[in-house]
Amino acid sequence: MPQISLAAFDIAGTTVDEHGGVYRVLREAVEETGAAVTDEGVQTWMGADKTEAISHLMSEGGVEPTAERVEAAFARFKELLAQRYREDPPVALPGAEDTMRALRAAGAKVALTTGFSADVAEPLLAQLGWKVGEGELLDALITADTVAAGRPYPYKIFSAMEATGTAAVGTVVVAGDTRVDVEAGRNAGAAHVIGVLTGKLERPALEAAGATAVLDSLADLPAHLGL
């Protein structure tokens, strides 16, 4: 098995349990525009950049996603999400921090990638005490507003490689709980593209998306990699 130089992990549903709040408030923010939203529609856009998800869900629900409407719905989404996180704070998923530390101890860098913008992701991580920097838990945080296009495009993974000085995509492991997480990892050409069952999707959906392995949780990754 090749040396792992970088682990790029999703946040909500992969490393962090935010109690499903993001998808509930995403639906609520879109429904407030007058759009009809289905469970299937929300599931389709799990893991995607949130402005992109809002735009598509509005269109699918019968509301024209003008720039102004999408911007207003995204602002409402952030307001609702902040309120929900105050009422029901996110927590680290069991074993996630241990896995990140095990990878760091093995010489790998650790980056988080997310469909959240920085103004959503950074306060969330601050609640957990997770920081980016020398001697901290994380080496990089790549948010939706720092790349040209979100998942399933591989740009967040490439940005994580750039931020951590990782040269070879064949030494990268990607893990996530959604279809687009897996597709982005495959599109990047990562050595290991891991689906985890701590989100809303079941094993067959992650396997169909192209995961090289599906694990119960991120806690199982060190053993899977032989660390």
Model pTM score: 0.83
Last residue of a domain, one of 87, 106, 134: 87
29 and 69 share one domain: yes
Is the residue at 100 inside a domain? yes
Res 1 pLDDT > 70: no
Is the residue at 70 inside a domain? yes
Res 2 pLDDT > 80: no
193 and 117 share one domain: yes
110 and 154 share one domain: yes
Return the CATH number at 75.
1.10.150.240
More confident residue, 33 or 49: 33
CB distance 64 to 52 below 8 Å? no
Is the residue at 26 inside a domain? yes
139 and 115 share one domain: yes
Mean per-residue pLDDT, 149-170 = 95
Last residue of a domain, one of 72, 87, 102: 87
What are 126-137's pLDDT values in tens digits?
A: 889 999 998 899
- Report the domain count for the chain: 2
52 and 139 share one domain: no
Going by the DSSP 8-state scheme, the letter that residue 159 receives in this structure is H
3 state DSSP class of 192: strand
Mean per-residue pLDDT, 95-113 = 96
Please list, in sequence order, all residues whose beta carbon lies within 8 angstroms of the beta carbon of residue 52, skipping any fewer than 6 positions away.
Answer: 45, 150
CB distance 169 to 188 below 8 Å? yes
Q: Which domain holds residue 72?
A: 21-87
